[in-house]
A and B are shown apart, each in its own frame.
Chain A
């Protein structure tokens, strides 16, 4: 495999989440050369942030670890973290792609011993935990990060911090002079597995996210419930750390709404059911109120729904929460109309969880090249041009569907690579 000499049979996979990993592995294991690039400092994407994921409610280490091992063991895959696509030129079957790798400020000598983080006096918002806690400016993105190498946030590092971090490293791995690097590769086809971003909850002004600590998002619940999360697995109210005695789930927070995301985000109903199990494990008696328009349990999940709807401390209300009022005691009151009884409900709870949906990441950050997209920013595959969408870049989906579409994308890309 030679990226320098032009391997038109190669495939570029943009995005190293569950979708990109799957596409890369499927294509490589059939015999194609694959470049796998990931914007973050670690692979695994959104799945890595979850506490458990469907279909089997495994922790993410379960599925990701084996994929990381397959990537490491496969000599046909070249993986680049902190790397983005800058430009694409050429024609289908013969694309020339410019990649840019952002400086990590830690080189390959790193053994992930963690001495730099211990020595580092500076703290930054922990992005992996959605800003719910701090990490050192020299940090490992998360416990099971792959590649297992520290990262330095240079902007968050003071002069003293820089000196301390440098001095702490026994392996001469800290290199604060590192510059962005660009490289050009030649590929036959590009799989866009650029994934999703949780919809910005402050955009729903009536749901008042940010105006009360009691209003959190479903992704924040995932991080709190995760063993390596900001609360080490405790689901508590940010700020005062209160153990909530009541929860309200606000479904379709931004989804199925032409003012926000006009599509159904597919996963939020199931995510809520799943998060109800997290709450039950921790608070067997907590009251849970789920406000919904319709409950969608695609595929084989109907039994899961039935089990949770039978919970005697849980109430399901058909009616979307359209107003949240922060209360003086730190809780909130959610307001909805029960469309079955025709009465307005004002339910006071200790914590309101906004089931925010998935927005295609390229709709937020913009695509590096002109891609065929629908008006929501989902990519429409164009196999003739060798531009193929996979996973949540293609449509809102769960992990199972994502893996299916990623395998399909790999096959399409292989066809393009063999055609040329």
Chain B
């Protein structure tokens, strides 16, 4: 076999938490103790040698890299301290940058060096919009208690769409849209690579409905139930943080979707004008929002403390890849909750500043999703779908 090692790739892995990868001596303990590894395609032993050899193309199109949940069982039993779980995490970090589109933005999001820029971009956009919208006014106490943050970007008397919603839609939908496009491009490219690597040359392709019902939806269900995550032994405590966090995201997605529908569509119907916010604290949607916000902070807090402890006790290498997402989610949760508390307390000026930071944090979460650790939510889902696809009749080569 003619091996062309990609030295830059190996160097990158070493800086991204995979500094131990060269210690691996291929005993294959990891593949046996891994609770997620299958009998026919066990991992992560093969990924370790591919990584040592710098076989980047094989790794970024290897579903097993994404199926790994970093349980840490392999790392606990590894006789050499090669930490296969951490190495696979580093490979995933690399893959998100590799598939990232546009590549400049993806690179920016891949290291701490880019952090000032990552914060500056949404801050400037938000600031400009705040200024241009003419809303950069701290409201009176009365207005604040009536409208909350509904007139953050100002107010016009245009019946069909409030100015605030308009500005937020423009910026957040653009950011989210960019993320969706980027994720689509990345996942498509990954899928193609996986198909090639698996040698699938099937003449038949599943229809969209088949794809969703047979491969994607079962994977989503599995993820929501954390079926695989719960098989972890060494790092099972991560489930306690990840599960509430994931549920909080689902909860907040429902809240956002409902708010958008209620504010922008239903409230336009005469007689349903009361659907304009802010909602009462006892509104079921608001309750869901608040419960989700608390779940988010608790969940990310658990993950935060787990990771700090692992770094202090087990010698886990701290990486920008892991911490950026933790900080970002914590920022979204804390600023969101604080903004709400400020509204209850009638503190308009601090409230507005916190709300501004909240908007910046949310925009960062959306915009950088495909390039940061957050990307696992699409890449892992599709890798799990690919695993089902590979095992199905579509995956059998003719």
Contacts and interface: CB of A to CB of B under 8 A. Distances in A.
B25 A344 contact: no
B33 A206 contact: yes
Given A319-B28, A339-B28, 5 more contacts: A320-B79, A322-B30, A337-B45, A342-B46, A343-B42
Given A206-B33, A323-B32, A344-B42, A293 B25 contact: yes
A343 B40 contact: yes
A189 interface: no
Interface string B52-94: 0000000000000000000000000101110000000000000
30 contacts: A206-B33, A256-B27, A256-B80, A257-B79, A258-B79, A258-B80, A258-B81, A259-B79, A293-B26, A293-B27, A294-B25, A318-B28, A319-B27, A320-B27, A320-B28, A320-B32, A322-B28, A322-B31, A322-B33, A323-B32, A323-B33, A336-B32, A337-B31, A337-B32, A337-B45, A338-B28, A339-B28, A339-B45, A342-B42, A342-B46
Contacts of A257: 79-80
A342 B62 CA distance: 14
Contacts of A258: 79-81
Given A343-B39, A343-B40, A322 B32 contact: yes
A114 to B, nearest CB: 47
A147 to B, nearest CB: 42
A236 B13 CA distance: 50
A-B residue pairs, 8 tightest by C-beta = A257-B79, A322-B32, A337-B31, A337-B28, A320-B27, A322-B29, A319-B28, A293-B27
A258 to B, nearest CB: 5
A322 B41 contact: no
Interface string A344-365: 1010000000000000000000
Contacts of A252: 27, 79
A344 B31 contact: yes
Interface centre among B27, B39, B42, B45 (most CB of A within 10 A): B27
Contacts of B41: 342
B385 to A, nearest CB: 23
Nearest to B46: A342
Interface in B38-52: 38-42, 45-46
Nearest to A335: B32
B111 interface: no
B28 to A, nearest CB: 4
A206 B202 CA distance: 41
A346 B40 CA distance: 11
Interface of A: 206, 252, 256-260, 293-294, 318-323, 335-339, 342-344, 346
Contacts of B32: 320-323, 335-337, 344
Contacts of A336: 28, 32
B317 interface: no
A274 B37 CA distance: 35
Contacts of B37: 344
Contacts of B79: 252, 256-260, 320
Contacts of A337: 28, 31-32, 42, 45
Nearest to B38: A344
Contacts of A342: 41-42, 45-46
B132 to A, nearest CB: 58
A189 to B, nearest CB: 37
Contacts of B30: 322
Nearest to A259: B79
Contacts of A256: 25, 27, 79-80
Q: Which of A252, A320, A338 has the most CB of B within 10 A?
A: A320
A259 B77 contact: yes
A339 B26 contact: yes
A323 B39 CA distance: 13
Nearest to B81: A258
Contact of A322 (B25, B26, B40, B77): B77
Interface string B307-324: 000000000000000000
Nearest to B76: A259
A294 B81 CA distance: 18
Contact of A344 (B29, B40, B77, B80): B40
A214 B29 CA distance: 21
Contacts of A319: 27-28
A346 B46 CA distance: 18
A98 B25 CA distance: 46
A280 B80 CA distance: 34
Contacts of A206: 33, 77
B145 to A, nearest CB: 61
Contacts of B81: 258
B40 A320 contact: no
Contacts of A321: 32
Interface in B97-128: none
A379 B397 CA distance: 60
A318 B80 CA distance: 17
A204 B30 CA distance: 15
Contacts of A322: 28-33, 77
Contact of B39 (A260, A293, A344): A344
Contacts of A260: 79
A338 to B, nearest CB: 8
Contacts of B46: 342
A342 B49 CA distance: 12
A120 B32 CA distance: 50
B50 to A, nearest CB: 11
Contacts of A318: 28
Nearest to B40: A343
A248 B242 CA distance: 41
A321 B28 CA distance: 8
Nearest to A261: B79
Contacts of A320: 27-29, 32, 79
Interface string B2-42: 00000000000000000000000111111111000111111
B234 to A, nearest CB: 12
A335 to B, nearest CB: 5
A191 B111 CA distance: 56
Contacts of B29: 320, 322
A318 B26 CA distance: 9
Contacts of A323: 32-33
Q: Which of A252, A256, A337 has the most CB of B within 10 A?
A: A337
Nearest to B29: A322
Nearest to A205: B77
A337 B40 CA distance: 10
B58 to A, nearest CB: 12
A335 B29 CA distance: 10
Interface string B237-281: 000000000000000000000000000000000000000000000
A397 B330 CA distance: 55
A342 B44 CA distance: 10
Nearest to A251: B27
A53 B145 CA distance: 90
Nearest to B26: A339
A294 B46 CA distance: 17
B296 to A, nearest CB: 37
